[in-house]
């Protein structure tokens, strides 16, 4: 049997004396507006503006009002990332990884820990204990990454982690989680690559400083993009660069490499055209990674050729 307007089975279409149906969520409120997606009557309280007409709350929750998933209409960061409930999650994970490796080093002998010799950045050297050559040039590519999470001295570890906690959350909130972790890893690898290229082959280095300088460079780029006062970050950058070149036993190559890569990646992320963000971000990261790979390849040919 056909359903007719006003039937008890469909009270949302009940009509008033003027012949207007009642809102499907508030049947006692007559309305002449219908949802452009489901065609159900909606009152002014239930109307949600759409690109064309109005939609009911159920359709908005179910499809974003545009035919895309609801996440497509979610607020975005300046770099196009999704706004997360916890903008410090990746920063906390990075802190945890660094802390875990540091505790492992302390637990296995501190400065004499075998983990240091296995995980630090080393171009090419002889290992008397194993009677063989070791280092990145000998195929131990992982050292470029593991050195970023390796610390020996408490002061070095504490300074880097405090810097990460200070610089990380604002960048993570501005870029989004995926872009932030890409920035951090690429900056760290950029610092490792420049150290590998310019430092003496047998000179070991370690620490998260390359990645931290990358965050510092990215912060400067972000503040410039937002037209914020850059004096504080420029002063901080100047102080850190002064320490880099004036303090003994500091791998300045990692600091400079991380700083340059961090600034380049951040520039590509915050200045990408809105309609081509994903493409520009992916291309920026890919080009930087290929440049890092090329530097490592050239240096390896120099050492083993």
Residue 72 lies in a domain: no
Strand, helix or coil for residue 117: helix
Q: What is the mean pLDDT of residues 183-187?
A: 98
Question: Domain of 126?
Answer: 88-304
What confidence score (pLDDT) does residue 9 get?
40
Residue 154 lies in a domain: yes
Residue 65 lies in a domain: no
What confidence score (pLDDT) does residue 299 get?
96
What confidence score (pLDDT) does residue 73 get?
46
Alpha carbon 149 to its chain's center:
17
Q: What is the mean pLDDT of residues 133-154?
A: 95
What confidence score (pLDDT) does residue 158 get?
96
Residue 260 lies in a domain: yes
pLDDT for residue 65 is more than 50: no
Residue 37 lies in a domain: no
Residue 70 lies in a domain: no
Q: Beta-carbon neighbour count of residue 235 at 10 Å? A: 10
Q: How confident is the model at residue 37 (pLDDT cuts 50, 70, 90)?
A: confident
Shortest CA distance to 97 belongs to which of 176, 185, 16? 185
Respond yes or no: is residue 209 known to be catalytic.
yes
Residue 129 lies in a domain: yes
What confidence score (pLDDT) does residue 45 get?
74
What confidence score (pLDDT) does residue 66 get?
47
Q: What is the mean pLDDT of residues 34-53?
A: 77
* Interatomic CA distance for residues 124 and 54, integer angstroms: 67
Q: What does the angle CA 246 – CA 248 – CA 249 come to, to the nearest 5 degrees?
A: 135
At 300, which CATH number? 1.20.1540.10
pLDDT for residue 10 is more than 70: no
What confidence score (pLDDT) does residue 69 get?
46
Q: Which of 24, 151, 255, 281 is catalytic?
A: 255
Respond yes or no: is residue 113 known to be catalytic.
no
Mean pLDDT for the chain overall? 86
Q: Which of 151, 205, 209, 281 is catalytic?
A: 209
User: Which has more confidence, 51 or 149?
Assistant: 149
Give percent above pLDDT 90 in the chain. 56
Q: Could you tell me the pTM of the whole model?
A: 0.76
């Amino acid at each position: 049997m056909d359903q007719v307007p006003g039937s008890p089975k469909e009270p949302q279409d009940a009509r008033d004396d003027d012949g207007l149906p009642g809102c499907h969520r508030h049947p006692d409120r007559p309305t002449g507006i219908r949802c452009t997606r489901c065609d159900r009557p909606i009152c002014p309280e239930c109307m949600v503006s759409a690109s064309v007409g109005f939609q009911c709350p159920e359709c908005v929750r179910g499809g974003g009002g545009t035919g895309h998933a609801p996440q497509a209409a979610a607020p975005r960061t300046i770099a196009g990332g999704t706004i997360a409930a916890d903008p410090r999650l990746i920063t906390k994970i990075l802190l945890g990884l660094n802390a875990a490796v540091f505790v492992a080093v302390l637990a296995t002998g501190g400065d004499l820990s075998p983990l240091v010799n296995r995980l630090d950045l080393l171009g090419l050297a002889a290992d008397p204990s194993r009677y063989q050559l070791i280092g990145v040039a000998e195929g131990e590519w992982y050292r470029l990454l593991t050195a970023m999470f390796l610390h020996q001295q408490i002061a070095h570890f504490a300074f880097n982690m405090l810097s990460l906690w200070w610089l990380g959350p604002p960048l993570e909130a501005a870029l989004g989680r995926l872009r932030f972790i890409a920035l951090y890893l690429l900056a760290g690898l950029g610092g490792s690559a420049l150290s590998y290229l310019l430092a003496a082959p047998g000179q070991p280095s370690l620490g998260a400083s390359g990645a931290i300088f990358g965050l510092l460079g990215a912060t400067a780029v972000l503040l410039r993009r937002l037209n914020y006062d850059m004096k504080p970050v420029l002063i901080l950058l100047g102080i850190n660069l002064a320490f880099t070149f004036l303090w003994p036993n500091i791998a300045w190559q990692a600091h400079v490499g991380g700083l340059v890569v961090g600034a380049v990646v951040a520039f590509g992320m915050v200045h990408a055209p809105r309609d081509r963000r994903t493409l520009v971000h992916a291309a920026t990261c890919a080009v930087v990674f290929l440049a890092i790979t090329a530097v490592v390849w050239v240096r390896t040919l120099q050492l083993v050729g």
